[in-house]
């Protein structure tokens, strides 16, 4: 417990220092607060997967602790992003894509001796990237086979726990779909053809294809196609996260026929991944 408490103190110090630096900005203080809470929620989702998912049942306590640290520290680089946004007067994240918080997190941990561990560093570095970026990482390629397997599953755990925490946040706080996700309070619109095509093909929606406010919500919905673990689907079903999101999308989608196709595809995808493992959403 002493080690875990030291880790929590390390994260909290970065959060408080950041919040003090941007104290004059209400927007960035809110963002810093949310990112600290989000880190705790990712830890919670990660603990759930570590407990229930078959992949982790025979893991050593050392590897489980590394996975826990990965969830805790995955977004520590967000505080570096907030510093830079404050200095650049980018209070609302107009240029959000220029800040690679995964890279910032990697640099912080790499330069802190007790956290300079490849099993921790590279999953965190790429948690917000596509899988191929992680698998193309030299630190992963050059690792021993057993380390590769551990690193890969920590990477998958962080990615799933991160998504679960975000889905749950928007289930609990649908009021944040507007400016926070869509960039506008006026969300009613149709989906773009390329976004619809990606969803029906069970693919992640590409940022480059987003042209309407609804596209932003559908991009987030498409994250379910990137989930790695069966119990991630159980988590979402039991907490009503996806149905909640579908209701929000339905309220703002001006094309009912497209909405029906999207809902059918999403529900079928989730059911398939739960039923394939005979989990059937009964455990939480």
Look at residues 118, 138, 164 and tell me which one is the last residue of a structural domain: 164
pLDDT at 236 over 80: yes
Q: Report d(CA 129, CA 5) in Å as an integer.
A: 29
Same-domain check for residues 23 and 101: yes
Per-residue pLDDT reduced to its tens digit, 73-85: 999 999 999 999 9
What angle (nearest 5°) sits at the alpha carbon of residue 119, between those of residues 118 and 125? 70
Residue 150 Cα distances to 10, 65, 66, angstroms: 24, 12, 10
Same-domain check for residues 78 and 135: yes
Look at residues 140, 164, 188 and tell me which one is the last residue of a structural domain: 164
Same-domain check for residues 95 and 198: no
Same-domain check for residues 7 and 112: yes
pLDDT tier at 129, thresholds 50, 70, 90: very high
pLDDT confidence of residue 155? 98
Two structure tokens written together for 197: 């095509």
The verdict on pTM exceeding 0.85 is: yes
pLDDT at 282 over 80: no
Between the two ends of the chain, the Cα-to-Cα distance in Å is 24
Per-residue pLDDT reduced to its tens digit, 95-110: 666 789 999 999 999 9
In a domain, 283, yes or no: no
Closest CA to 180 of 220, 128, 207, 209: 220
Contact 74, 124 (CB under 8 A): yes
- Number of domains, the chain: 2
What angle (nearest 5°) sits at the alpha carbon of residue 274, between those of residues 272 and 280? 125
Same-domain check for residues 100 and 131: yes
SS3 243: helix
Closest CA to 81 of 64, 63, 66, 99: 99
Same-domain check for residues 46 and 98: yes
Same-domain check for residues 135 and 203: no
In a domain, 223, yes or no: yes
């Amino acid at each position: 417990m002493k080690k875990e408490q030291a880790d929590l103190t390390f994260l909290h110090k970065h959060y408080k220092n950041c919040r003090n630096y941007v104290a004059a900005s209400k927007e960035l203080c809110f963002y810093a607060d949310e990112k600290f809470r989000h880190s705790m929620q990712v830890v919670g989702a990660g603990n759930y997967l570590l407990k229930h998912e078959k992949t982790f049942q025979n893991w050593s306590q050392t590897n489980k602790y590394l996975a826990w640290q990965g969830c805790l520290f995955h977004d520590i680089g967000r505080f570096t992003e907030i510093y830079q946004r404050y200095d650049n007067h980018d209070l609302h994240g107009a240029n959000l894509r220029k800040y690679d918080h995964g890279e910032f997190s990697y640099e912080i941990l790499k330069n802190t001796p007790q956290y300079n561990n490849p099993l921790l560093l590279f999953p965190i570095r790429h948690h917000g990237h596509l899988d191929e970026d992680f698998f193309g990482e030299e630190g992963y390629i050059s690792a021993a086979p057993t380390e590769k397997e551990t690193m890969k599953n920590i990477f998958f755990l962080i990615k799933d726990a991160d998504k679960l925490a975000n889905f749950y946040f928007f289930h609990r706080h649908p009021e944040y779909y507007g400016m926070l996700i869509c960039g506008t309070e006026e969300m009613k619109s149709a989906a773009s053809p390329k976004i619809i095509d990606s969803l029906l093909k069970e693919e992640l929606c590409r940022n480059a294809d987003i042209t309407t406010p609804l596209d932003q919500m559908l991009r987030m919905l498409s994250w379910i196609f990137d989930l790695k673990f069966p119990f991630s689907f159980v988590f979402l079903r039991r907490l009503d996260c996806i149905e909640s999101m579908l209701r929000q999308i339905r309220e703002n989608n001006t094309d009912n026929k497209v909405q029906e196709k999207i809902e059918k595809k999403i529900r079928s995808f989730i059911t398939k991944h739960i039923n394939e493992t005979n989990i059937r959403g009964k455990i939480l």
